[in-house]
């Protein structure tokens, strides 16, 4: 199951608690609806867009499965690395 990040809404009137004032993670099914309030203090929260990590081990795995990695060289020009 994916891990989603949430935080206190920027325009929230309520101050929030220690949990939602900072980013916090929740494990949810993709089919679950996003949370709208902090599970601790019930303040309004928003779901964040998170960047996934990509490491060299994944790079090697992609090579073995036959996928290709393209690197942008110029405007509209990409070079195949593998």
pLDDT by residue for the chain (82 residues), tens only, comes to: 788 999 999 887 778 898 888 889 999 998 999 999 999 999 999 999 876 666 667 777 778 888 888 888 888 888 887 7
Report the 3 state secondary structure along the chain.
CCEEEEEECCCCCCCCCHHHHCCEEEECCCCCCCCCECCCCCCEEEECCCCCCCCHHHHHHHHHHCCCCEEEEECCEEEECC
């Amino acid at each position: 199951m994916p891990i989603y990040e949430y935080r206190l809404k920027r325009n929230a009137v309520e101050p929030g608690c220690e949990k939602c004032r900072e980013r916090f993670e929740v494990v949810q099914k993709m089919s679950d609806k996003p949370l709208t309030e902090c599970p601790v203090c019930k303040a309004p929260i928003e779901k964040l867009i998170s960047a996934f990590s990509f490491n060299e081990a994944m790079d090697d795995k992609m090579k073995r499965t036959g996928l290709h990695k393209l690197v942008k060289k110029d405007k509209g020009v990409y070079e195949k690395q593998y």
